[in-house]
Chain A
Amino acid sequence: DAGVTQSPTHLIKTRGQQVTLRCSPKSGHDTVSWYQQALGQGPQFIFQYYEEEERQRGNFPDRFSGHQFPNYSSELNVNALLLGDSALYLCASSLKWEETQYFGPGTRLLVL
Chain B
Amino acid sequence: GESVGLHLPTLSVQEGDNSIINCAYSNSASDYFIWYKQESGKGPQFIIDIRSNMDKRQGQRVTVLLNKTVKHLSLQIAATQPGDSAVYFCAENIGTNAGKSTFGDGTTLTVKP
Interface positions of A (Cβ within 8 A of B): 4, 31, 33, 35, 41-45, 48, 56, 58, 90, 92, 94, 97-106
Is there an interface contact between A44 and B99, defined as CB atoms closer than 8 Å?
no
Is there an interface contact between B98 and A97, defined as CB atoms closer than 8 Å?
yes
Interface positions of B (Cβ within 8 A of A): 36, 41-46, 49, 89, 91, 96-106
A99 neighbours in B (Cβ, 8 Å): 98
Choose one: B43, B89, B97, B98; the contact of A42 (CB below 8 Å).
Answer: B89
Is there an interface contact between B96 and A4, defined as CB atoms closer than 8 Å?
no
Top 9 nearest A-B pairs (CB, nearest first) are A103-B43, A42-B103, A33-B99, A97-B97, A98-B96, A56-B100, A48-B99, A103-B44, A97-B99
Is there an interface contact between A45 and B42, defined as CB atoms closer than 8 Å?
no
A103 and B39 alpha carbons, distance in the complex (Å):
12
A102 and B44 alpha carbons, distance in the complex (Å):
8
A31 and B100 alpha carbons, distance in the complex (Å):
11
A90 and B105 alpha carbons, distance in the complex (Å):
17
A33 and B96 alpha carbons, distance in the complex (Å):
14
Q: Can you report 13 A-B residue pairs in the complex whose CB atoms are below 8 A from each other?
A: A33-B100, A43-B44, A43-B89, A45-B102, A48-B100, A90-B43, A97-B98, A98-B97, A100-B49, A100-B98, A101-B98, A101-B99, A103-B43
A101 and B103 alpha carbons, distance in the complex (Å):
14
A4 neighbours in B (Cβ, 8 Å): 43
Quote the shortest CB–CB distance from A85 to chain B (angstroms): 18
Is there an interface contact between A102 and B98, defined as CB atoms closer than 8 Å?
no
Is there an interface contact between B100 and A58, defined as CB atoms closer than 8 Å?
yes
Give 19 new A-B contacts, CB below 8 A, not counting A104-B43, A105-B42.
A31-B99, A41-B105, A42-B91, A42-B104, A42-B105, A42-B106, A43-B44, A43-B101, A44-B103, A45-B100, A45-B102, A56-B97, A90-B43, A92-B43, A94-B99, A99-B98, A100-B98, A101-B46, A103-B42
